[in-house]
């Protein structure tokens, strides 16, 4: 299916690995031009180098960074059609999960909201004028199934992502009539560096459960989170949904929250 993305200009945050890298690869394959934002590049992003890709090294905890990324897209490619706010999860230097509401400090809460909510607010604020000059656009905010599934774990992260859901709905109402569609994608646990890297979630849970990292990802985490499919989500599965949502083929989809969560969220 042709997603009609050829020639479109996209900004993807958190683009050097995981979901962001999969989104960047998919959009490039569909003919879009991509400005990829991340603190540093990586082997996967370097492999995609070409005329249609620009990497902008930024720390999105810097309030000025989202605006610089959008400005670079306009400078390099003449405008902006697509914004994928994928960057999120543990702020730099933070390890999750935290197992109690009492664990994060005030500073932890501030950092979590800066990275997972305020950076999105700033990116959208910068992107909307550029999109309006093109007659519209599409924004996808990557949230989490945990935004709708309260639990005594990662409470600060879950709260920030819940705010992202509300933000997306509000943006879709205000800017939908002006041609800007805003949707949310809520992954479940995805097999990304958050889980797989040394000291990541799998190692932390393994230490609690008295097992090893691979066993956590292959069986303990799917069982603990009651995943219907019995496995963690693959990043490409999330990227495929995002690519469809930013496509003109989804022209009547706005204000939606799409779960790609292996059956994590059970409520009706």
Please give the C-alpha separations between residue 159 and each of 57, 143, 146, 148, 150, in angstroms, as whole numbers: 28, 11, 9, 9, 9
Q: What is the mean pLDDT of residues 52-78?
A: 98
Tell me which residues are annotated as active site. Answer: 157
Q: Which residue has the higher pLDDT, 112 or 149?
A: 112
- Sign (positive/negative) of CA torsion 5, 163, 170, 69? negative
d(CA 203, CA 45): 26
Q: Are 26 and 55 in contact (CB under 8 A)?
A: no
d(CA 88, CA 142): 8
pLDDT digits (tens, 9 = 90+) for 66-96: 999 999 999 999 999 999 999 999 999 898 8
- Locate all alpha helices (DSSP H) within the chain, ordered by sequence: 18-29, 43-46, 65-77, 106-113, 119-133, 155-175, 193-196, 201-209, 213-215, 221-224, 235-246
d(CA 221, CA 226): 8
pLDDT digits (tens, 9 = 90+) for 29-51: 999 999 999 999 999 999 999 99
**Average pLDDT for the chain:** 96
Q: What pTM does this model have?
A: 0.95
pLDDT digits (tens, 9 = 90+) for 228-243: 999 999 999 999 999 9
What is the predicted pLDDT for the residue at 18?
97
Q: Is the pLDDT of residue 150 over 90?
A: no
What is the predicted pLDDT for the residue at 268?
81
What is the assigned CATH class of domain 9-188+234-255? Answer: alpha beta
Q: Is the pLDDT of residue 262 over 90?
A: yes
What is the predicted pLDDT for the residue at 151?
85
Record the tokens describing residue 85, joined without a space. 């706010």
Taking the domains of the chain in order of start, what are their residue ranges?
Answer: 9-188+234-255, 192-232
pLDDT digits (tens, 9 = 90+) for 168-224: 999 999 999 999 999 999 999 999 988 888 888 899 899 988 999 999 999 999 999
Q: Which of 141, 131, 122 is nearest to 179 (CA)?
A: 131
Q: Percent of the chain at pLDDT above 70?
A: 100
pLDDT digits (tens, 9 = 90+) for 98-114: 999 999 999 999 999 99
């Amino acid at each position: 299916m042709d997603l009609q993305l050829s020639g479109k200009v996209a900004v993807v945050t958190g683009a050097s690995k995981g979901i962001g890298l999969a989104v960047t690869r998919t959009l490039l394959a569909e003919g879009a031009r991509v400005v990829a934002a991340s603190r540093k590049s990586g082997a996967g992003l370097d492999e995609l180098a070409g005329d249609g890709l620009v990497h902008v090294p930024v720390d999105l905890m810097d309030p000025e960074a989202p605006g610089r990324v959008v400005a670079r897209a306009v400078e390099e490619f003449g405008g902006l059609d697509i914004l994928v706010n994928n960057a999120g999860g543990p702020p730099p230097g933070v390890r999750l999960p935290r197992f109690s509401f009492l664990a994060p400090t005030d500073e932890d809460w501030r950092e979590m909201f800066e990275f997972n909510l305020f950076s999105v607010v700033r990116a959208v604020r910068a992107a909307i004028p550029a999109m309006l000059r093109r007659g519209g656009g599409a924004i996808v905010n990557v949230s989490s199934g945990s935004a709708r599934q309260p639990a005594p774990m990662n409470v600060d992260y879950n709260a920030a992502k819940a705010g992202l859901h509300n933000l997306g709905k509000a943006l879709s109402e205000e800017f939908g009539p002006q041609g800007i569609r805003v949707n949310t994608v809520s992954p479940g646990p995805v097999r990304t560096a958050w889980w797989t890297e040394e000291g990541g979630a799998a190692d932390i849970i393994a230490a609690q459960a008295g097992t090893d990292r691979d066993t956590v990802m292959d069986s303990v985490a799917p069982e603990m989170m009651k995943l219907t499919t019995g496995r963690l989500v693959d990043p490409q599965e999330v990227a495929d949904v995002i690519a469809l949502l930013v496509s003109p083929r989804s022209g009547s989809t706005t204000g939606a929250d799409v779960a790609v969560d292996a059956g994590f969220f059970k409520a009706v």
